A and B are shown apart, each in its own frame.
Chain A
Amino acid sequence: DAKTTQPPSMDCAEGRAANLPCNHSTISGNEYVYWYRQIHSQGPQYIIHGLKNNETNEMASLIITEDRKSSTLILPHATLRDTAVYYCIVRPEAAGNKLTFGGGTRVLVKP
């Protein structure tokens, strides 16, 4: 599976948009980009995923560059409850394939 690179930490202001970058320059054509987050002492929570097109759901938006070598997760209006570690993962299409977690980005939303 392709490796991802994320900044180790970032702060953002409550009510503002949070933009979380992820680099996946070795991504293959059949690999999806997945985002999960882990709030302290809980299991990871699925946020969003995409292949080529930008995606949006009730939690976030995912912007994937045209060359697919990087992506950005956007939390449109960050709240204190969005404080968590955010993981960007790439993996082949089949859901049965295992996920490999990197270090993620520790996001602290401040009032």
Chain B
Amino acid sequence: EVQLVESGGGLVQPGGSLRLSCVASGFTFSDFWMTWVRQAPGKGLEWVAYVKQDGREKSYVDSVKGRFTISRDNARNSLYLQMNGLRVEDTAVYYCARDAAAHNLFDYWGQGTLVTVSS
């Protein structure tokens, strides 16, 4: 059974940093692109970033470029999102998701972790 379990969310002040983690199981992690998608309270879904299988190629939504870094550790079956320079508008539930077809199609999602940026 495919499982994705996020952790690391919490309350942080504007300008602060946070590192999210996602541990995967039930599939060969190193075979898949992995993604972070976020959802602000009461709002829709927004793709944040992806990382390809070997961790070298990455892409980000414009609003987080230069502030967020996606990475992975295939030996640990883990995906990460380092978030620096956090803003109030980054407040959201952050979901880790598996890319089904190396094309930004998301077939499995974690339960999400809430990041709240507030003073």
Asked if A and B are interacting partners, one says no
